[in-house]
A and B are shown apart, each in its own frame.
Chain A
Amino acid sequence: MNRDGRWKYWEFVLWAVALAAPWVLPSYALLLNEIAIVALFAVSLDLILGYSGIVSLGHAAFFGFGAYSAALFAKLVMPDPLVGLFIGALAGGVLAALASPTILRGTDLSRLMVTLGLGLILMELANKLDWLTGGADGLQGVVMGPLLGRFEFDLYGQVAASYSGIVLLLLFVVARRLVHSPFGATLMAIRDNRLRTMAIGISVSSRLAIIYMVAGTMAGVAGALLAQTSGFASLDLFELHRSADVMLVLVIGGTGWLYGGVVGALVFEIMQKFLSSITPQYWTFWIGLFLVVLVLVGRERMVRPWTWFYRGGKQ
């Protein structure tokens, strides 16, 4: 893994392929759009889970909040996608800033509960404020304007996929810069040993609050992208299984590695499409089985097949 922050040549190739894909394979554009959004969501979770060691089961709160904000903004104020995206980002960031004091204290269990509770509270809110959000029916009738005043969102999702892909790339670059900066190094120090980090004079609380806010902003952007490209926002966005799914995505790809989110999203979406085409109703069983096997075999070994034949888990 590239610990020094220099760009490798294969990364350029990867991104060029990713951005060209919707135009080369137009029939997969909708899937690619979804993958880009899930990847962005997973990368944002990686910032707090993989790099800072905060176990969160409520990351969907920011995702859903960003989605609803962007959708409402498009419906009530103006349909321009980029401004809407900014609003979604702002919403996610502000929410995370407000929520950040709750994750600073306590054990893994209490953090798990608090993040979970935040997601549930927002879901209740979206459900009960039905004059604004449409309640359980979801927020319908969101019409997006053309991108940059020129490119209309088409039915095949090619524009949408490129849009999501470019946003993913931009935020990925930001995140990459962030984790390779001294700031990123202190985050990993906090993850590895909080007490010692505090002892060498790093303010743990403020670092965690900042990274939580950054992650919330990115998750808000991911949600806004989903709402804009699908023209729809529903309660499903806040559900527990969405937080669990994104955690799974990240774990498939590997935590503490930014490409983990991207790779995981690719594998997860394809796996989900494949499984739900075989057993539409019961695919959660296979997801569950996969999780169990993944943990029992060991996350590190599962995602790195070349370690399967060594004994003792040495790198």
Chain B
Amino acid sequence: MLTILFDGIAYGMLLFVLAVGLAVTMGLMNFINLAHGAFAMVGGYITILLMQRQGVPFLVCLPLAFAGSALLGAVLERTLYRPLYHKPHLDQVLFSLGLTFMAAASVDYFVGSSMQIVQLPEWLKGRTEIGSGDWVLGMGHYRLFIIVICGALTLALQYVLAKTRFGSRLRASVDDQRVAAGLGINVNAVFLSTFAVGSGLAGLGGALGADVLGMDPGFPLKFMIYFLIVVAVGGTSSITGPLLAALLLGIADVAGKYYIPKLGAFIVYSLMIVILVWRPQGLFVRKGGRS
């Protein structure tokens, strides 16, 4: 029981790190980016390839995965994404789907279509149990590691958004892009860095999740729907909305698969439709802000 909750939280935190970049970019530029999963996949594959071929330690791979995806994100943002901000949503959907297809096929071509396995270091492999009877809490060390890292990242993000100058610029741009630009904020630069960081976080999430979620060329399409659920349900105007949505989704998914495997993903999708029909702007939306 508690173990399931624990696994659900770990899964939810992972989803949050994967999806938070998407939430911010979607809120900032109103751009429907279905290719976000591709950045996560890039991060995951950087980790796997570095570990398998070069023998780089796992902990060194994580920042490299972040940097690699962030760089890729920045380059693509500058060259391909920027002209599309003011195009209709249909164009954005087509464009990002196309990117996703390309990413999946290239990975298939260069690495192969089989599922890749990460060799975790020894100290992350164990499992600790606390308590007894019905209330036993089994914590996989790796999941604990994920929760700690993602928790730290969440706090850091929250700090950056709430306390720093860059954070206030970003929030201003999200709330009203035109007024922000009028006040002398370089919205393009803010967006470029946000996009890069968001992609980097996705890459980091992919690297962390390579063991839990599994890495294969179908990854971006398979998990795209989860990212989108997090963003659509959580709303795009704050960081706590997606966090809560991700935790909810993670726990619901793990619990659903454990207790009623017959229905599986069915519950998550139905829940999403009900929530979106009920509150199309997302569950946790701030009153007042432009949405």
Contacts and interface: CB of A to CB of B under 8 A. Distances in A.
Interface of A: 49, 55, 57, 101-102, 105-110, 112-114, 116-118, 120-121, 124-125, 128, 240-241, 244, 247-248, 251, 255, 281-285, 287-292, 294-296, 299
Given A106-B277, A108-B89, A292-B98, 12 more contacts: A49-B90, A102-B276, A105-B277, A106-B276, A107-B281, A121-B270, A121-B273, A125-B266, A247-B94, A284-B101, A285-B101, A295-B94
A138 B228 CA distance: 29
Contacts of A120: 225, 265, 269
Contacts of A105: 277, 280
Interface string B92-115: 111101111111111011000100
B10 interface: no
14 contacts: A55-B90, A109-B228, A110-B280, A112-B228, A117-B269, A121-B270, A124-B265, A125-B266, A282-B105, A282-B108, A285-B101, A285-B106, A291-B94, A295-B98
B243 interface: no
Interface in B155-214: none
Interface of B: 26, 32, 80, 83-84, 87, 89-95, 97-106, 108-109, 113, 221, 225, 228-229, 231-232, 262-266, 269-270, 272-273, 276-277, 280-281
A288 B105 contact: yes
A120 B228 CA distance: 14
B277 A295 contact: no
Contacts of B232: 109-110, 113
A282 B232 CA distance: 32
Contacts of A247: 93-94
A141 to B, nearest CB: 25
Max chain A C-beta neighbours (<10 A), residue from B32, B91, B101 = B101
Contact of B26 (A109, A117, A285): A109
Contacts of B32: 108-109, 112
A289 B92 CA distance: 14
Contacts of B89: 55, 108-109, 112
A16 to B, nearest CB: 33
Given A128-B264, A282-B108, A55 B228 contact: no
Contacts of B87: 295
A116 B26 CA distance: 18
Contacts of A125: 266
A109 to B, nearest CB: 6
B289 to A, nearest CB: 15
B15 to A, nearest CB: 15
A251 B94 CA distance: 9
B102 A289 contact: yes
A212 to B, nearest CB: 14
Given A101-B277, A105-B280, A106-B280, A116 B228 contact: yes
A241 B105 CA distance: 13
Q: Top 7 A-B pairs ranked by shortest CB distance?
A: A291-B98, A106-B280, A288-B101, A285-B105, A288-B102, A295-B95, A292-B98
